[in-house]
Amino acid sequence: MSAGIESRSAVAQAPPTSGGPVDAALLEDLAAANRILATEGVLDAYGHVSMRHPCNPNRDLLSRSLAPILVTANDIVEYDLDSTLVDPKGRLSVQERFIQGEIFKARPDVNAVIHSHSPAVVPFSRPFRT
């Protein structure tokens, strides 16, 4: 192993910085969107809604790992577009968070993403294999 590779792997990456404060009403709306879509059957226990950070297009907001019917504004966390949690505070991340990050990264015109497991589509999906 070369010295350059060793030194790069030994350096810890700094956590991403926040995109700034978000209006409490927007966080409430995002939480409500999760609950409403779950109530209406659009989201199952593993679906979620995310939005681009209103002050920094390189950040997005998504609930911590929690069923959408239970999401409150306090459950909303911030990610960078590589799906790295800005301030974990011991909260678990949604495994599918990378979907949002990649969409927000590829499509600067997109400001919200809904990840759902539609009963009409799931039978045609391929099972995950390890």
Which amino acid is located at 130 in the chain?
Answer: T
How confident is the model at residue 10, as a pLDDT?
46
Confidence grade of residue 114 (pLDDT, cut at 50, 70, 90): very high
Which of 83, 117, 128, 85 has the alpha carbon at shortest distance from 102?
83
Which of 98, 96, 101 has the alpha carbon at shortest distance from 117?
96
List pLDDT tens digits, range 52-92. Answer: 999 999 999 999 999 999 999 999 999 999 999 999 888 88
Sequence-distant (≥ 6) Cβ neighbours of residue 61 within 8 angstroms: 22, 27, 30, 50, 51, 52, 53, 76, 77, 78, 79
List pLDDT tens digits, range 21-44. Answer: 999 999 999 999 999 999 998 898
Note if 96 is an active site residue: yes
In the block, tokens 């499509």 appear at 107
- Structural domains in the chain, sorted by start: 20-121 (3.40.225.10)
Residue 101's φ and ψ, nearest 5 degrees, are: -55, -45
Given the residues 6, 40, 96, 102, select the one marked as catalytic: 96
Locate 24 and state its tokens.
């409490």
